[in-house]
Amino acid sequence: MPLASASSPRRRSFYVIRKSAIQGKGAFATRFIPAGTRVAEYTGEIISAEEAGERYDDAAMSRHHTFLFELDDGRCIDAGPKGSGDAKFINHSCEPNCEAIGEDDRVFIDALTDLEAGDELLYDYRYVIEGPIDAETKALYACRCGAKTCRGSILAPTKPKKPNKKKASRAKAKTKTKAKASTKTKAKKKTKEKAATRR
Ligand SMILES: C[S@@+](CC[C@H](N)C(=O)[O-])C[C@H]1O[C@@H](n2cnc3c(N)ncnc32)[C@H](O)[C@@H]1O
Ligand SMILES: [Zn+2]
């Protein structure tokens, strides 16, 4: 499988990887970064959705931990393999200072706000999973970002459900696939407006 192109040395100099108070390792700004700057590219091996499911089985984990980023066509960038870029170390926050932008087979991380040297780079993972979110699932995806508005989860916020019989039965059918499902981060699509303002 091909490796997505690596980020340039210039981009890498925006941040360093070190231990994070949120979880494991994180990426920290090495200098002032103005809002709108493209700080990183999420690079790794591009694999099919099926292969992603084989490599990572969320249901078998005691705490969720993957390096997958989902592309628009369902394929994923897996930053787990050796040789992948270090943007995989950027942690999640419910009050992010960065955002992920998808452009075809590539995913970039752009600064949403001005960043000071030493700030941890953070974007909102908004993971989507199938099936109901029970207590076990909540624990698996618990968020430790520490933001005032932390929603307590690295999952995407859920919309309130309407009491609809048809919808309820569809949701049940989907849970059958949960055991083999792997969660991937999804980027925002590049829009013309973004292309004009973020380069
Ligand atoms: C792509 S890795 C990010 C790098 C990770 N800190 C490491 O050292 O490998 C994604 C994983 O980091 C953890 N993570 C990231 N942000 C988190 C947060 N706000 N709260 C809890 N865990 C988080 C979760 O385990 C998630 O599956
Ligand atoms: Zn949070």
Q: What is the pLDDT of residues 17-35, one digit of tens each?
A: 999 999 999 999 999 999 9
pLDDT for 51: 95
Ligand 1 within 6 A of CB of 89 = yes
Predicted TM-score (pTM) of the model is 0.81
User: Relative to the alpha carbon of 122, which ligand is closest?
Assistant: 1
Rg (CA), the chain: 17
Across 34-52, average pLDDT: 96
How buried is 101 (Cβ within 10 angstroms: 0-12 exposed, 13-18 middle, 19+ buried)? buried
Which is more confidently placed, 190 or 64?
64
Query: What is the helix (H) or strand (E) element at residue 196, kind and residue range?
Result: helix 192-197
* Residues 77, 7: Cα–Cα separation, whole Å: 14
Domains and CATH numbers, the chain: 9-196 (2.170.270.10)
> What's the one-letter identity of residue 114?
D
15, 65, 69: which to mutate for ligand 1, most atoms within 8 A of CB?
Answer: 65
Q: What is the pLDDT of residues 162-183, one digit of tens each?
A: 654 443 332 222 222 233 345 5
28 beta partners: 16, 120
Across 74-80, average pLDDT: 95
